[in-house]
Amino acid sequence: MFNIELSKERNILDNFILRLIRIVFSFASRIAPKPAGRLAFRLFCTPIKSTSKSPGYLKRKEAATTLFNESTKHSIAYNGGHIAAFEFIPSNAGSSAPSIDNGETEPETVWIVHGWQSQSLLMSHFVNPLLDAGFKVICIDLPGHGQSIGRTFHIPLGVQAMHAVRSELGAPDMILTHSLGGAVCATTLAGTLSPYLPWSVKKVVMISPPNSMVKIFNDFATMIGLSDQSTKMLHTIVNELSGKTTEDFNTDVQLQNLSSDLQLIHAPDDKEVPFSEAEAIAKLNPRAILHPVNGLGHRRIIVDDEVVQLAVEFLKAA
């Protein structure tokens, strides 16, 4: 009962803060649209640490922390600071390990990339099943998230971080993502940003991936009450940062020529990233397989045993 009351109080506080933000940006974006747009972009790029105190969340985080304490932690320098990466080695290479020249076996590597305002710890349900399947696993905390140093995140920073991890720990054979991690992965694989070249991997699993970055920015602008001029400023800053338009970051277009096998797992009841986003990605990629998993929303989907099994079976299949 006490936890329920705390949750209600937190929701009331969150709603109050959002209303206050809307009032401030609604006024500021009409008086000074360009500065307000820049301030809104900074807000958008500042992840908020989870304050959840629910027993289920705390229990999962405690178990994940115990698991991650067994990993080798890497702190990898890149232009935005340092990225935390957690490396897990399988006790038995298993059937997924390819042969190398000296006759020994080297396990294939799966990268796990979390979503917006999340962290590697919250993707921990995938780690042991992947290790049991014989994979080496590397979990990456994106810029501004988890144990990575810094408070800012945007897709160009995420791509820089992915390349830094690859330079330090080697290329992945396969990638598994959740939510906005899928957008970072798509931009990295496609080589959208100069001077980076496209990547080639065997398989990709995207859980609850967003498609339209235009929609993400416009929805954010609506949520905080930005004027049309300030909303345009958000897209202008994207171009200033990347040399690309916001549309260039759409996942479906970036992955339409992807040569990797692609599995999309998405809940039709997802209220944060609509199921139609995954449908759009699948429509443009003939190698994509879309699995609807109803009733799991946007967050519960990454702790569901059937989803974990679905992803692992796809990755280890010949």
Reduced to 3 states (helix: H, G, I; strand: E, B; else coil), residue 117 is: coil
pLDDT digits (tens, 9 = 90+) for 114-146: 999 899 999 999 999 999 999 999 999 999 998
β-pairing, 81-88 with 109-113?
unpaired
Contact 204, 185 (CB under 8 A): yes
Q: What is the pLDDT of residue 58?
A: 80
Is residue 20 very low, low, confident or very high in pLDDT (cuts 50, 70, 90)? confident
pLDDT at 7: 42
Please say whether the structural domain 2-47+70-316 has been given the CATH code 1.20.120.1200.
no
Could you read off the pLDDT of 25-70 as tens digits, one per residue?
Answer: 888 999 999 999 999 999 999 987 766 667 777 888 888 989 999 9
Nearest C-alpha neighbor of 255 from the set 180, 318, 178, 192: 192
Buried b (16+ CB within 10 A) or exposed e, 89-119: ebeebbebbeeeeeeeeebbbbbbbbbbbbb
- Give one word for 157, left, alpha or beta, with left for phi > 0 and alpha for psi -120 to 50: alpha
CB-neighbour burial class of residue 220 (10 A; exposed 0-12, middle 13-18, buried 19+): middle
First to last CA, the chain: 49
State mean pLDDT over 99-123: 82
Share of the chain above pLDDT 90, in %: 76
Q: Is the pLDDT of residue 92 over 80?
A: no
61: tokens are 């985080």
The arithmetic mean of pLDDT across residues 5-13, rounded, is: 43
* Per-residue pLDDT at 238 exceeds 60: yes
Q: Which residue in the block uniquely carries the two structure tokens 């992915």? A: 162
pLDDT in the model for residue 104: 57
Mean pLDDT for the chain overall = 89
pLDDT in tens, 278-307: 999 999 999 999 999 999 999 999 999 999
